């Protein structure tokens, strides 16, 4: 049995939740909702992950795993789902890392506005984070879309979660504008049963 510590709004947690469904391991997983932020980490979470970050995956047969990429690789290895095919492993890992970079930038923008006093919010820093995400989105649209076709991979899952988070927290930025290939891919991928089941309310 597994215990997943996380929050439904987190794109990192959603990546793991989708992976759990796609590997069939969700039936063996208990979910534990934890709220956390850098200033007030949840004590239940820090007991599982000393960094106080989500997601974390408790296991009956070993120490808790954390970092969504570590957890997803573990779930893939446990299930044999083939989400990280050896024949194109480096492309999958690079695209997965790009998706995680988008998540990190997007979450950082939210944190800047949520946890700093209004007079200390640094708008140029927020814009810098968005430009980082925008460059990544442009690169995927122009160079990486062909790698999003075919059998499901961990990169596709991470990117789907990243784009879903942009819609959730940064809808006004309209990430689809000027990126028709990526927008078309996301439109189809968002209708996968695992994505629908994990869509934040």
pLDDT tens-digit map of 21-41: 999 999 999 999 997 777 788
Both 100 and 142 in one domain: the answer is yes
Regarding whether 183 and 90 lie in a shared domain, the answer is yes
Four-CA torsion 123, 128, 129, 131, nearest 10 degrees: 130
Count how many domains the chain has: 2
CB atoms within 10 A of CB 183: 16
Q: What is the CATH number of the domain that holds 64?
A: 3.40.30.10
Q: Which residue has the higher pLDDT, 120 or 14?
A: 14
Range in 75-84, 115-124, 136-145 the model is least confident about:
115-124
67 with 90, same domain?
no
Task: Give the pLDDT confidence score for residue 186 in this predicted structure.
Answer: 98
- Distance, CA of 109 to CA of 9 (rounded, Å): 15
Which residue, of 23, 48, 79, is where some domain finishes? Answer: 79
State which residues form the domain around 149.
86-197
Q: Is the pLDDT of residue 201 over 90?
A: no
Helix (H, G, I), strand (E, B) or coil at 92: helix
Q: Per-residue pLDDT tens for 135-178?
A: 999 999 999 999 999 999 999 999 999 999 999 999 999 999 99
Rounded Cα–Cα distance for residues 42 and 34 (Å)? 7
For position 148, what pLDDT does the model report? 96
Residue 124's domain is classified under what CATH number? 1.20.1050.10
CA pair distance 167, 170, nearest whole angstrom? 6
Mean predicted lDDT score pLDDT of the chain: 96
Of 84, 81, 111, which Cα lies nearest the Cα of 97? Answer: 84
Last residue of a domain, one of 27, 53, 79: 79
Q: Where among 79, 106, 126 does a domain terminate?
A: 79
45 and 111 in a single domain? The answer is no
Is there a single domain that holds both residue 109 and residue 158?
Answer: yes
pLDDT at 39: 79
């Amino acid at each position: 049995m597994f215990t997943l510590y996380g929050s439904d709004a987190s794109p990192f947690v959603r990546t793991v939740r989708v992976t759990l469904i796609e590997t069939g391991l969700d039936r063996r997983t208990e979910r534990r909702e934890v709220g956390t932020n850098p200033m007030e980490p949840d004590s239940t979470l820090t007991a599982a992950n000393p960094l106080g970050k989500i997601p974390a995956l408790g296991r009956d047969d070993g120490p808790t795993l954390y970092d969504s990429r570590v957890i997803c690789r573990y779930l893939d290895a446990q299930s044999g789902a083939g989400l990280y095919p050896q024949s194109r492993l480096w492309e999958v890992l690079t695209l997965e890392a790009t998706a995680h970079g988008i998540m990190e930038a997007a979450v950082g923008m939210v944190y800047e506005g949520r946890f700093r006093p209004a007079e200390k919010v640094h708008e140029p820093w927020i814009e810098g984070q968005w430009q980082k995400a925008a460059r990544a989105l442009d690169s995927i649209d122009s160079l990486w879309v062909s790698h999003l076709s075919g059998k499901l991979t961990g990169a596709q899952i991470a990117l789907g979660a990243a784009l879903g988070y942009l819609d959730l927290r940064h809808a006004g930025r309209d990430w689809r504008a000027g990126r028709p290939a990526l927008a078309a891919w996301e439109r189809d991928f968002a209708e996968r049963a695992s994505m629908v089941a994990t869509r934040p309310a």
